[in-house]
Amino acid sequence: MAATFFGEVVKAPCRAGTEDEEEEEEGRRETPEDREVRLQLARKREVRLLRRQTKTSLEVSLLEKYPCSKFIIAIGNNAVAFLSSFVMNSGVWEEVGCAKLWNEWCRTTDTTHLSSTEAFCVFYHLKSNPSVFLCQCSCYVAEDQQYQWLEKVFGSCPRRNMQITILTCRHVTDYKTSESTGSLPSPFLRALKTQNFKDSACCPLLEQPNIVHDLPAAVLSYCQVWKIPAILYLCYTDVMKLDLITVEAFKPILSTRSLKGLVKNIPQSTEILKKLMTTNEIQSNIYT
């Protein structure tokens, strides 16, 4: 319980995140109808990996089906825009499949026919070197779906002879520092790497006590536990929607081994990026 300044006593949310009384009661008092509803919801929230042409589900996980030496994952719209402009336009990438999932963040209630303008999660491989994979994930993968996503993509037999690179953004207010966050030179890059990643990062490592959540954390945890070399590049920015300056903050990664050989024409890529920005800007004007 906590008292507010207005003299009322309110139930403060527990930091431990436990609504345990309710959950315990639920477990004991769950009727068959409740159970059915819960299972139905779980089925609706299931993560499905579909093949490109046939749109049928993959029987095994993506990386069990295809050999992989390098896997680059972009999570969030700015990271996706970066890979689109700089990496995908420098080579011929073929779509291998996509992940379909639904959660409360999706703007549509139709779970089977998510259109192409909706948030997506698509997997590509390089035609000239099919063991190089890329994932563009602009949809939000909820807590209960993150492990499912890992299962469907990585499977249960982890292979150590591949290198994973993850790119994502975080709001600068998530960054804890002894200075004020207002004085930070955002956007800026930080990195987190697993024990088996032996190369150096192109930016400082994330200082204590900062942590990372959500899908990037799920992937990195998986890699750390199963000893796969992986690095996460985190861009702290104060603009969470698609923004030129934020995307350009990822540029130092172009010179690292993770993206070596995958980037050809940088000036052309910058042009493509600018075009991407303008198409989005027009939509965001509330007067048109």
**Binding residues for other proteins, per CB under 8 A?**
1-2, 12, 14-18, 20-21, 23-24, 27, 38, 143-144, 146-147, 173, 175-183, 192-195, 205-215, 217-218, 220-221, 224-226, 232
Cα–Cα distance between 86 and 251 in angstroms, integer?
9
> 214-225 and 143-154 helices cross at what angle (nearest 10)?
50
Q: Least separation, in Å, of the C-beta of 38 and other proteins?
A: 8
> 266-283 and 77-86 helices cross at what angle (nearest 10)?
140
Q: Least separation, in Å, of the C-beta of 227 and other proteins?
A: 9
Whole-Å CA distances, 236 to 184, 250, 282: 10, 10, 25
Contact 78, 167 (CB under 8 A): no
**DSSP β-ladder status, 48-51 and 93-100:** antiparallel
Q: Least separation, in Å, of the C-beta of 73 and other proteins?
A: 14
Contact 280, 118 (CB under 8 A): no
Q: Least separation, in Å, of the C-beta of 115 and other proteins?
A: 29
Q: Which is nearer to other proteins, 73 or 114 (CB)?
A: 73
Q: Which is nearer to other proteins, 180 or 288 (CB)?
A: 180
Q: Which is nearer to other proteins, 27 or 267 (CB)?
A: 27
Q: Least separation, in Å, of the C-beta of 96 and other proteins?
A: 25
Q: Which is nearer to other proteins, 44 or 274 (CB)?
A: 44
**DSSP β-ladder status, 188-193 and 2-3:** unpaired
Q: Which of the 8 DSSP states describes residue 223?
A: H
Q: Which is nearer to other proteins, 12 or 266 (CB)?
A: 12
Geometric angle at alpha carbon 266, from 262 and 271, rounded to 5°: 125
Q: Which is nearer to other proteins, 7 or 27 (CB)?
A: 27
Q: Least separation, in Å, of the C-beta of 277 and other proteins?
A: 30
| H or E, element range at 235 | strand 230-237
